Amino acid sequence: MRFAGKRAVVTGGASGIGRATALRLVREGAEVWIGDVDVTGGHELAETSNGRIHFLRTDVTDVADIAALLQAADDAGGIDVLFNNAGAGGARETIDAISPEDWDRTQSLLLRSVAMGIRYAAPLMIARGKGGAIVNTSSIAALQTGAAPTAYSVAKAGVLHLTTLAAADLSQHNIRVNAVCPGFITTNIFASALGISGEKRVMANGMIEQVAAHAQPLQRAGTADDIAAAVAYLASEDAAFVTGTRIVVDGGMTIGPRHSWDPKTPSLFSSLEAFAA
């Protein structure tokens, strides 16, 4: 019960990582406010939570919506935890083809929303005088190429740097700021980014699980609960001396090139050894 008596705000809380994190925080004692554009999913989650989860429709590209969600939680007694998580795949075009409008839309959804979440939560936490914990969702796409489209990857890299800057700015108020970098996680974000719905979405998610099981050293797909566990750690007092950093939760995908963990994949060195022999 690490969050007994505490209140948390989770954006993108109606599904996927946000939903799993909201449920994790509730299991550990928190009262949670979730914001999402998915009104049906948000209300359903709140209605089955025995009053522990509250939903407010929130479009994180609208600063007024972000401020309203945070104010609602603060009015109930103050914000202890903020999880800036809402997002989607964004524009898929390469840098030589993307339109300025699609670029701006992706940055607004994935980067500006995080900045404004911090911007409007921090004064409320400061005024309360009890510190707080902020966790931002970044991605392994912030660390390497090939994991996501360009606009998404740049936004997630911005989230990482924003995390370190905000941690420095807010340290004097005992507000910790950290990030989590998910890898191949089986949520609907991939299918949604490709416009896949209905029965095809279920099939697509099954394909993602199969591919993910062979894409990193740990041979299973990651789950939303894997990310929720990392977020709960960073938001808890177990991480009281942790700020301005990131936790990569990717099954080892970013360890290195495939030959570094898969003995069946030849490396340049092993190929040269075989040639020399």
Compute the average pLDDT of residues 100-115.
98
pLDDT at 207: 76
Which pTM value belongs to this model? 0.92
3, 55, 103, 152: the active-site residue = 152
Q: Does the annotation mark 152 as catalytic?
A: yes
* The two three-digit tokens of residue 58, written as one number: 């929130």
Asked if residue 68 has pLDDT above 90, the reply is yes
pLDDT at position 267 = 81
pLDDT of residue 272: 64
For the chain, domains (ranges, CATH) are 7-276 (3.40.50.720)
Give me the mean pLDDT over the 120-130 stretch. 98
Task: Round the average pLDDT of the chain to a whole number and report it.
Answer: 92
Give the model confidence (pLDDT) of 146-192 as tens digits: 889 999 999 999 999 999 999 999 999 999 999 999 998 886 666 56
Structure confidence at residue 62 as a pLDDT band (50, 70, 90):
very high
pLDDT at position 200 is 73
| pLDDT attached to residue 52 | 98
**pLDDT score of 42:** 98
- In the chain, % of residues over pLDDT 70: 91
